[in-house]
């Protein structure tokens, strides 16, 4: 019976490694300049963690096979060093693994988060609120008008709380429900939560960043492929969370200019 | 035999009178037109792309309805009602119906009486969460998945209540909860009429969701029709 358990463990370990080793799951298309680094990092993590998992399971299966069905009263074999060696060994092993992932991962992480966008990056403000995203472009003057939370009037599409009557800079701001961007141009996304925590997730951009109320966070990225992609909220934010999404529309520069003109006329 | 003739005659008179009653004018009328002066805020197209089942119902996007205007500066969706001078009335038995269709509130402004039954319907393929922002009445918000039965509610105090949907931020409407049955909502040409007013002195109030309210005094004697008009100041922002 013990030997059978060892065999089953081996089958489970190898069967669960199979779809990952053979890339059975197709990854979504990567449309960003930094996405390949994230993909490599994920692949490295999967290889490292997967290898450790399979080896540990095989070791367990071996022990179950070798030491099961012992006779009553037989002498118990103790590994040299006892529990202390095991604990210290585990710390060193796991510590090295985590450290290695961090060191190799910094090229994926730091290149995205710890660098500044180019000065000519297109600035767009993203606002997350229950249960929709809205985006704001600064308009021809290149400046965002100040926000006045008391002026928020959703019935009149004033989702950001702009006061065009008093703020000249707010008059040409363009507010939209979709995030349209030109292809191959760096975007500097300024993130702002209206109420609770939300998240900005675009699978194809390999970006997932939380919105935190009270914190001005920002992201920068460059999309390399035109198309329409989903922006999802991946932070449970309330009753309508399941329904909180918007679209990322990556356009050619020409189409983007046309779109911008159209949106400006609707304001 | 004699008794029977008298009875028949009585019945004939009774029926004639009761048939005539609705046709007989039972009082005066206040009518008029609501207009605006100035430039009203631009009504913007609504992007519903996040809710595909609603977005596909419109060939061109619908616009916001915070200020709806008609020809000749007519102001639509203004609630005109008797705010003083008329006695409070018991609620009618017919329910007021507020429908969520195409991620929009129909009608945009719904007037009904204190303690009158309010039925909220969801005719969409998606969930809504209706949230009337009551201040003097008890505030509530209720989730209504597609295909669920009507929400039945009542308000026990008069109030103008802004209504929003907690799931679709662009959805916006107004409840006007009133003390009596003398109310009207200005039509496409800005006109309104409050018929069947017994003789007396009244305060007529006009309420617009973006421009607030205005009142005028009017005295009705007999079955006359008095004209009362209101002009709201519109601002571009």
Contact B150, B119 (CB under 8 A): yes
Which among B57, B102, B68 is positioned nearest to B185, based on CA atoms? B68
Residues A240, A166 within the same domain: yes
| Mean pLDDT to the nearest integer, B138-148 | 95
Helix H, strand E, coil C: the string for B108-133 is CEEEEECCCCEEEEECCCCCEEEEEC
Residue in A closest to B67 by C-alpha = A156
Query: What is the nearest CA distance from B162 to chain A, expressed in angstroms?
Result: 9
CB atoms within 10 A of CB B230: 25
Name chain A contacts of B126, Cβ cutoff 8 Å: 243
Name chain A contacts of B44, Cβ cutoff 8 Å: 156-157, 266-267
| Mean pLDDT to the nearest integer, A156-165 | 91
Each residue's pLDDT tens digit, B191-204: 999 999 999 999 99
Asked if the model's pLDDT at residue A198 lies above 90, the reply is yes
pLDDT, residue A49, reads 86
Contact A193, A129 (CB under 8 A): yes
Residues A61, A133 within the same domain: no
Phi, psi for B225 (deg, rounded to 5): -110, 120
How far apart are the C-alpha atoms of B194 and B180, rounded to whole Å? 12
Complex-level ipTM: 0.78
Contact B192, B34 (CB under 8 A): yes
Residues A42, A143 within the same domain: no
- Of A25-29, A108-112, A167-171, B28-32, least confident by mean pLDDT is A108-112
Asked if the model's pLDDT at residue B211 lies above 70, the reply is yes
pLDDT, residue B20, reads 47
Contact B219, B200 (CB under 8 A): yes
Q: At what angle do helices A2-21 and A35-67 cross, to 10 degrees?
A: 170
Residue located via tokens 């008009």: B229
Q: Do A156 and B237 touch (CB under 8 A)?
A: no
Structure tokens at B195: 């018929």
How far apart are the C-alpha atoms of A116 and A6, rounded to whole Å? 53
Pairing of strands A174-176, A132-137: antiparallel
Within-domain flag for A247: yes
Which among A63, A43, A75 is positioned nearest to A3, based on CA atoms? A63
Within-domain flag for A75: no
CA A188 to chain centre: 17
**Residues facing A193 on adjacent strands:** A128
Each residue's pLDDT tens digit, B35-49: 999 999 989 999 998
Residues A165, A243 within the same domain: yes
Residues A200, A88 within the same domain: no
Q: What percent of chain A has pLDDT over 70?
A: 100
Residues of B with CB under 8 A from a CB of A: 41-42, 44-51, 64-66, 126-127, 129, 143, 162, 164, 166-170, 172, 209-210, 235-237
pLDDT, residue A21, reads 85
Position with higher pLDDT, A248 vs B15: A248
Please report which confidence band the pLDDT of residue A3 belongs to, taking 50, 70 and 90 as the band edges.
Answer: confident
**Structural domain span for residue A89:** 2-68+81-113
Residues A61, A171 within the same domain: no
Residues A95, A128 within the same domain: no
Query: What is the nearest CA distance from A93 to chain B, expressed in angstroms?
Result: 47
Residues A107, A151 within the same domain: no
Domain count, chain A: 2
Residues A219, A260 within the same domain: yes
Each residue's pLDDT tens digit, A101-154: 888 888 888 877 888 999 999 999 999 998 999 999 999 999 999 999 999 998
Give the CB-side neighbour count of residue A103, counting CA atoms within 13 A.
Answer: 6
CATH code for the domain of A137: 2.60.40.420
Residues A109, A131 within the same domain: no
Asked if the model's pLDDT at residue B17 lies above 50, the reply is no
Q: B98: Cβ–Cβ under 8 A, 6 or more apart, which residues?
A: B105, B106, B107, B110, B118, B119, B120, B121, B130, B163, B173, B175
pTM for the full predicted model: 0.83
How far apart are the C-alpha atoms of A207 and A203, rounded to whole Å? 7
CA A239 to chain centre: 22
CA A125 to chain centre: 19
Q: Which CATH class is domain B26-234?
A: mainly beta
pLDDT, residue B21, reads 45
Each residue's pLDDT tens digit, B72-87: 999 999 999 999 999 9
How far apart are the C-alpha atoms of A263 and A240, rounded to whole Å? 27
């Amino acid at each position: 019976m013990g030997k059978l358990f060892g065999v089953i463990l081996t089958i489970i370990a190898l069967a669960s490694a199979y779809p990952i080793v053979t890339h059975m799951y197709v990854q979504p298309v990567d449309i960003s300049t930094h996405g390949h680094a994230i993909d490599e990092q994920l692949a490295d993590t999967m290889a490292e963690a997967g290898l450790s998992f399979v080896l540990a399971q095989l070791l367990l299966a071996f022990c179950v096979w070798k030491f099961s069905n012992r006779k009553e009263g037989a002498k118990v074999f103790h590994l040299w060093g006892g529990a202390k060696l095991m604990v210290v060994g585990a710390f060193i092993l796991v510590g090295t693994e985590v450290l290695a992932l961090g060191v190799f991962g910094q090229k994926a992480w730091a290149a995205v988060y710890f660098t500044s966008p180019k000065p000519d990056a297109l600035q767009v403000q993203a606002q997350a609120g229950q249960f929709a995203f809205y985006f704001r472009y600064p308009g021809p003057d290149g400046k965002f008008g100040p926000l006045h939370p008391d002026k928020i009037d959703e019935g009149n599409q004033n989702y950001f709380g702009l006061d065009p009557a008093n703020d000249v800079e707010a008059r040409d701001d363009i507010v939209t429900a979709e995030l349209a961007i030109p292809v191959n141009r760096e975007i500097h996304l300024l993130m702002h939560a209206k109420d609770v925590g939300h998240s900005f997730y675009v699978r194809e951009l390999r970006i997932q960043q939380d919105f935190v109320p009270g914190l001005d966070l920002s992201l920068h990225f460059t999309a390399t492929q035109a198309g329409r992609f989903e922006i999802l909220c991946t932070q449970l934010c309330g009753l309508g969370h399941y329904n909180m999404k918007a679209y990322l529309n990556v356009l050619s520069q020409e189409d983007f200019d046309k779109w911008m003109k159209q949106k400006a006329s609707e304001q | 035999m004699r008794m029977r003739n008298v009875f028949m005659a009585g019945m004939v008179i009774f029926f004639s009178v009761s048939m005539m009653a609705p046709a007989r004018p039972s009082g005066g009328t206040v009518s008029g037109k609501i207009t605006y002066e100035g430039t009203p805020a631009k009504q913007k197209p609504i992007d519903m792309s996040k809710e595909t089942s609603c977005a596909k119902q419109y060939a061109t996007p619908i616009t916001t309805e915070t200020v709806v205007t008609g020809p000749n500066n007519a102001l639509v969706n203004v609630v005109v009602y008797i705010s003083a001078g008329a006695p409070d009335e018991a609620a009618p038995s017919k329910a007021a119906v507020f429908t969520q269709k195409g991620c929009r509130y129909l009608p945009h402004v719904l007037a009904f009486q204190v303690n009158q039954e309010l039925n909220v319907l969801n005719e969409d393929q998606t969930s809504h969460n209706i949230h009337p922002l009551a201040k003097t009445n008890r505030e509530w918000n209720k989730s209504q998945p597609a295909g669920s039965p009507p929400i039945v509610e009542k308000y026990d105090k008069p109030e103008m209540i802004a209504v929003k949907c907690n799931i679709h931020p662009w959805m916006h409407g107004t409840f006007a909860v009133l003390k009596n049955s003398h109310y009207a909502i200005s039509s496409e040409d800005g006109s309104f009429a409050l018929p069947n007013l017994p003789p007396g002195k009244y305060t007529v109030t006009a309420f617009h969701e973006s421009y607030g309210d205005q009142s005028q005094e009017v005295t009705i004697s007999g079955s006359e029709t008095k004209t009362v008009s209101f002009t709201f100041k519109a601002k571009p922002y």
